Amino acid sequence: MMTSFFDQFASPSFLGVPLIAVAIALPWIMFPTPPSRWLNNRLITLQTWFINRFTNQLLLPLNTGGHKWALLFASLMVFLITINMLGLLPYTFTPTTQLSLNMGFAVPLWLATVIIGMRNQPTVALGHLLPEGTPVPLIPVLIIIETISLFIRPLALGVRLTANLTAGHLLIQLIATAVFVLLPMMPTVAILTAAVLFLLTLLEVAVAMIQAYVFVLLLSLYLQENV
């Protein structure tokens, strides 16, 4: 039984061909393309408003040099939200529950922010490894600790996104299984459990959006330190 609960996180395949590439490419097909007309429909207008508001809020603390990342951050945000939301549908696969995919997003982007800091302002970038006013005996220890915390950042990004989505999917499947088991024996308890399942599903919709936002927000904070 426990093995079946985790089967939903296995990459699906058809005739031996993994379908994770299809799951990753599907969100891009669903996005509406803005037409060349002056007036857009309501869906495209809402999409444009959301992306503009998100971009303005995200890049507010960054200087002009960090605004070059606006397109990348907005695209990543919309992509992660769409994948997370599609994964809540029945009989679907959520690619962001795979740690390898999340690390594939986190490591290159984090490394890019570090390289930009080392190239543009190496003194300030290296100064983050040693807080100001540190006593001399503690300098080697603090440098080691700050270096370890710097390299843990991409791992924390990937694990946070993976753990939150995995835990949510497992809770939904566990409670849904409890509803089906309790329905013939205790219908009243099953109805109450179904109500809890509905509330949990609403919570998971919020978690899917919030975790995508947190992922991009932390990347922007890392960029802020190095720009």
Quick check: is 201 in a domain? yes
Quick check: is 125 in a domain? yes
Quick check: is 180 in a domain? yes
What pLDDT does residue 4 have?
66
Quick check: is 128 in a domain? yes
Question: CA 178 → CA 133, 166, 199, 204, 213, distances in Å?
Answer: 57, 18, 15, 18, 32
Q: Distance between CA 106 and CA 162 in Å, rounded?
A: 12
pLDDT above 90: percentage of residues in the chain = 25
Quick check: is 2 in a domain? no
Which residues lie closer than 8 Å to 184 by C-beta, 6 or more apart?
A: none
Say whether pLDDT at 53 is over 90. no
Quick check: is 18 in a domain? yes
Write the pLDDT tens digit of every residue in 76-92.
Answer: 988 899 889 888 888 78
What does the pLDDT average to over 197-218? 92
Quick check: is 131 in a domain? yes
Write the pLDDT tens digit of every residue in 108-159.
Answer: 999 999 999 888 888 887 877 877 777 888 888 888 888 898 899 999 999 9
Q: Identify the weakest region by mean pLDDT among 18-27, 82-91, 156-165.
A: 18-27
Domain that holds residue 198: 7-225
What pLDDT does residue 130 have?
79
Number of domains in the chain: 1
What pLDDT does residue 134 have?
75
Quick check: is 34 in a domain? yes
What pLDDT does residue 1 have?
45
User: For tokens 């007036």, what's the residue?
Assistant: 39
